[in-house]
Amino acid sequence: MERLDLMELVSGIFVKPITEFEDGLDRFDVHPRPDLVIDDHREIVEAFGGVHIEPYYFRAAEDGQMDDIYQSITDFSETGKSTHRGFKCPPERE
């Protein structure tokens, strides 16, 4: 994030829990609680809400996934929802 000069756009960088997600927030001192998770692990998206994406292995000229993610974040920020096929509403908003 620093190398790309993006730090002013994030509130923090944390170790993400990959099991026992709720306990992991305390274990890794993740504060504040995530509003929205973008991840290629479906389980963490199911736990917190957000967008499940396909794993990113190679750069591709036709890759539009980042545009889709940006649109999902924008939609969620404005409406609390997204039409992205991988979107899962956060539990407190269901």
pLDDT of 45-66, one tens digit each?
999 999 999 887 777 766 678 8
Q: What is the pLDDT of residues 39-48, one digit of tens each?
A: 999 999 999 9
**Which three-class secondary structure state does DSSP give residue 56?**
coil
Q: Residue 72 and residue 36: Cα distance in Å, rounded?
A: 10
Residue with the bigger pLDDT between 5 and 58: it is 5
Domain ranges of the chain: 7-93
Against a cut of 0.75, is the pTM above it?
Answer: yes
Nearest to 18 by CA among 10, 5, 27: 27
- Read off φ and ψ for residue 16, nearest 5 degrees: -95, 135
Res. 13 pLDDT band, cuts 50 70 90: confident
Read off the tokens for 88: 């899962």
